[in-house]
Amino acid sequence: MSETTTNPHGIAEGHPDQRPMIVLEGVSKTYPGQTIPAVAELDLAVPRGSIVMLVGPSGCGKTTTLKMMNRLIEPTTGRILLDGEDVTGVNADQLRRRIGYVIQQVGLFPHFTVGENIAVVPRMLGWDRQRIRQRVDELLELVGLHPREFRDRYPRQLSGGQQQRVGVARALAADPPVMLMDEPFGAIDPVTRERLHDEFLEIQRTVRKTICFVTHDLQEAIKLGDHIAIFTAGGRLAQYDTPEGILSRPANDFVAEFVGSGAAVRRLHLIALSTLDLDEIATGSSPTAAALVTVPLSGSVYDAVDAMLDAQTSVVAVVDDDGQAVGALRWNTLVEKLQLRGLHP
């Protein structure tokens, strides 16, 4: 068996800050009355400050794996290390107060106000009132809900999207280093989900948590994850890699099939426009810059292609945050640019 600082997946180690935040070592779970394990001999290391997406078909053990990390489900065998500490034997309630937890059904306490919901863990940790109040307002701001407007509302007075924002704020309340999220945006309509994704990434840029995120939606996994762990039935890991790696180098047939057709198109999501060598916008030519369809520089090639097809045009202008055009992308030079980028990543 390996030492605590090694990990089976070759993620950088050594310096404590480089040490993985969560390590699963030979973790199995067999439910009572069943012979086939839901999760079998799983090794997994989650790097500090990154988002790891647990993906797979239903019944693949991804949720079981997630719930073993905060011991809502007790592993049958194996060790789970949190920041180097074996947590399989510690008090489960104390452990969970150090780990944020967000679920699909949100599970806000209906008899508590939004503020009281967020304050639950700080209250259990014995923070003083002033500090709790400050923290609640800070978190509401962070998730984009105006404290004065939302603090004293009850959950039933919120929309689904707002409820899940509060759910995320509640999980972040005591500033836990780790967050576990079980299909948090699964029950939310596609438009709102898209927006929540962007906000979620924005929040993560500020808080830099170590996040495990269960989803069955590969699209979501590619968009949000720094790493993706694809599970096959029986809780085995089929591939654990970056989104790019999963899309371009599926480790086996299962992953290839799971990724399905269109992997190349999906990979366009991963190529930021800012990494391309954009064309200049020719002045005086027709159509003029002002009339061009625009996409933001922060977007991906996917967004640019989508905009082109949508407007049935062969050129889009790429604009920065101030709306200033920084370049153009043309349909007929796109493949060339991708080739070029492939050669000089």
Partner 1 sequence: MDPISYLRENVGTVLFYGEQHFLVVLCAIALGSAISIGFALLVSMDAGSQRWSLDWIVGAVREGALVVTAAALTVPSLALLVLLLPLFGLGAATTVTALTIYSLYTVLRNSVAGLSSVDASVLESAKGLGMGRLRRLIWIQFPLAWPVILNGIRVATLIDVAIAAVAALVRGPGLGQLVLTGLSRYGAANAFNQVLVGTLGCLVVAAVFEIFYAVVERLTVPRGIRV
Binding site residues, partner 1, CB under 8 A? 32, 70, 72, 74, 93-98, 101, 103-113, 120-121, 124, 154-156, 167, 170-171, 180
User: CA–CA separation, 239 vs 249, rounded Å?
Assistant: 10
Which lies closer to partner 1 via its Cβ, residue 124 or residue 289? 124
Q: Please say which residue, 124 or 326, places its beta carbon nearer to partner 1.
A: 124
Half-sphere exposure of 1 (CA within 13 A, CB side): 11
Q: How far is the CB of 1 from partner 1 (least distance, A)?
A: 25
Q: Which lies closer to partner 1 via its Cβ, residue 124 or residue 256? A: 124
- Euclidean distance between CA atoms 137 and 148, whole angstroms: 8
Give least dist CB 308 to partner 1, A. 43
Query: Percentage helix, strand, coil, to 5, in the chain?
Result: 40, 20, 40
Measured from the CB atom, the residue of 6 and 105 that comes closer to partner 1 is 105
Q: How far is the CB of 70 from partner 1 (least distance, A)?
A: 6
Q: Residue 66 carries which DSSP code?
A: H
Task: With beta carbons less than 8 A apart as the criterion, state whether 210 and 40 touch.
Answer: no
Q: 7 or 70, CB closer to partner 1?
A: 70
- Measured from the CB of residue 105, what is the shortest distance to partner 1 in angstroms? 3
- CB-wise, 80 or 222, nearer to partner 1? 80
In sequence order, the β-bridge partners of residue 293 are 316
Minimum separation from the CB atom of position 133 to partner 1 (A): 19
Q: Output the DSSP codes for 86-149.
A: E-SSS-HHHHHHTEEEEETT----TTS-HHHHHTHHHHHTT--HHHHHHHHHHHHHHTT--HHH
Taking the complex as a whole, the smallest distance from the CB of residue 259 to partner 1 amounts, in Å, to 31
Residues making up the chain, counted from first to last: 345
Three-state DSSP at 23 gives: strand
